[in-house]
Amino acid sequence: MKNRSRVIAVVTTSLCATYAPVNTSSAQPTEAPVPFSTSSASTETSPDYDPDTDEALFLLVSINGREIGLIAEFALSQQSQRMSAQRDELEGIGIDAPRNLGPPIFLDQIPGFDFVYEAASQTLLITVQGPAQIPVEISAIPQKNIPETQTGYGLVLNYRVTANLGNDILSDGFQANEAFASLDLRAHTPLGVLTSTGALSFQGDDFGSPELTRYDTYFTASTPDRLMTMTVGDITSSGMAWTRPVRLGGIQIRRDFSLRDDMVASPLLSYSGTAAVPSSIEVYIDNVRAYSGAVGPGPFNLSDVPMISGDGEAVFTLRDAGGNERVTKVPFFATQNLLSKG
């Protein structure tokens, strides 16, 4: 397959592909169109499949009258004129064949699946209904590409100085006899960040014998794509709102959702449905529109619909080009104390 990504929008540009027979001496010209029917299928697959003589076809796929913009590889048996494909090729174009079939999987064995092979245009026209079609996944939150982390070397020192300059500056002038400085030292490397915090205090008129107190020293390494953070050194344990954190030394590996500001960790609304024709879908949360988009013919799963905290009602409206509407009302309860699956 030349492109495994799912394309929901209708592709208007024309694509063409050629096929090369494995055995050109035995390949005969094929008349177009060549219809196939699942009603005359045979369940025995081994006599009809011969990889040495079968004709390999790279066909532009159309599902339920809609070009999906993908090219898949099929095999045409020279003995029985049956069409077959591998499971990963079918899943790439949105077809879920029963697990007890194949390999290879003959197309006339898939329930609810009909097709017509047009040799002149190198196109496979598929008509599918029921569970054989994989639902299209639609996210209500726009997907953002994770920017590549820029690494390098650097050194940063943050400090804050506080000093006692005397009781009466106007009459006695500056009589500094005490000073305090809080320090935060950070060293950046491609592997992570080394942080050390502490305080420096001075006593007396001459600020002699400074006293240094170290607070925390730890090394942190993060992976934004996995939302993981590892800390080695002085760490503070996490816990619930009613528990007390504990300071200790060691290694801590934890989930860090702050690495991705575009990710919502709490569960969001989802809706599954089926559109007979190209339609538009709108979602209202307590009479406020939260999402609007387009869906193609077939099953779909709409996920990551934003909602408010607490209880409310979501209204999903599916509308086709003729103005026919299908309205579904779903009550919900949301809280930020839960984590979404995964």
- In the predicted model, is pLDDT for residue 127 greater than 70? yes
Residue 137 lies in a domain: no
In a domain, residue 29? The reply is no
Q: Are residues 55 and 110 in the same domain?
A: yes
CATH of the domain at 297: 2.60.40.3110
Q: Which of 233, 259, 285 is the last residue of a domain?
A: 259
Domain that holds residue 54: 34-131
Residue 342 domain-assigned (yes or no): no
Instruction: Look at residue 142 and tell me if it is in a domain.
Output: no
On whether both 249 and 162 belong to a single domain, the answer is: yes
Task: Verify that 202 and 255 share a domain, yes or no.
Answer: yes
- Rounded Cα distance between 292 and 285, Å, is 12
Question: What are the Cα distances from residue 42, in Å, to 221, 226, 341?
Answer: 58, 47, 42
Residues 70 and 119 placed together within one structural domain of the fold? yes
Structural domain contains residue 27: no
Asked whether 289 and 250 are in contact (CB, 8 A), the reply is no
Q: Is the domain of 113 the same as that of 185?
A: no
235 pLDDT higher than 80: yes
Cis ω on the peptide bond leading into residue 131 (within 30° of 0)?
Answer: no
User: Which band of pLDDT confidence, cut at 50, 70 and 90, is reported for residue 285?
Assistant: confident
My answer on whether 253 and 276 are in the same domain is no
CA–CA dist 101, 98 (Å, integer): 6
Q: Using an 8 Å Cβ cutoff, are 205 and 172 in contact?
A: no
For residue 87, is it within any domain?
yes
| Residue that terminates a domain, selected from 131, 165, 180 | 131
Number of domains in the chain: 3
Q: Which two tokens stand for residue 270?
A: 């989802």
Query: Please, what is the average pLDDT of the chain?
Result: 76
- Alpha-carbon distances of 251 from 143, 202, 231, 258, 268, rounded to whole Å: 33, 34, 6, 20, 33
More confident site: 87 or 148: 87
Look at residue 25 in the predicted model and tell me its pLDDT. Answer: 37
Bigger pLDDT: 179 or 11?
Answer: 179
Mean pLDDT of 308-322: 83
Does residue 167 sit in the same domain as residue 216? yes
Same domain, 42 and 114: yes
Nearest CA to 256 among 280, 285, 296, 223? 223
Q: Give the model's confidence band at 90: pLDDT under 50 very low, under 70 low, under 90 confident, else very high.
A: confident
Of 259, 294, 324, the one marking the end of a domain is: 259
Q: pLDDT class for 221, splitting at 50, 70, 90?
A: very high
pLDDT tier at 197 (50, 70, 90 boundaries)?
Answer: very high
**Structural tokens at position 24:** 């050109």
CATH code for the domain in which residue 89 is found: 3.10.20.410
Q: Is 157 helix (H, G, I), strand (E, B) or coil?
A: strand
DSSP 287-320: TEEEEEEEE-SEEEEEEEE---SEEEEEEEEEEE
Question: Does residue 88 lie in a domain region?
Answer: yes
Distance between CA atoms of 176 and 24, rounded to whole angstroms? Answer: 98
Query: Which H or E run contains 34?
Result: strand 34-36
What is the amino acid identity at position 96?
D
| Least confident window among 98-107, 195-204, 246-255 | 98-107
- Side-chain-side CA neighbours of residue 142 (13 Å): 3
Q: Can you tell me the mean pLDDT for 86-106? A: 83
| 285 and 254 assigned to the same domain | no
* Same structural domain, 244 and 297: no
User: Are 162 and 248 contained in the same domain?
Assistant: yes
CA distance 328 to 314: 8
66 occurs within a structural domain: yes
**Quick one: 94 and 50 in the same domain?**
yes
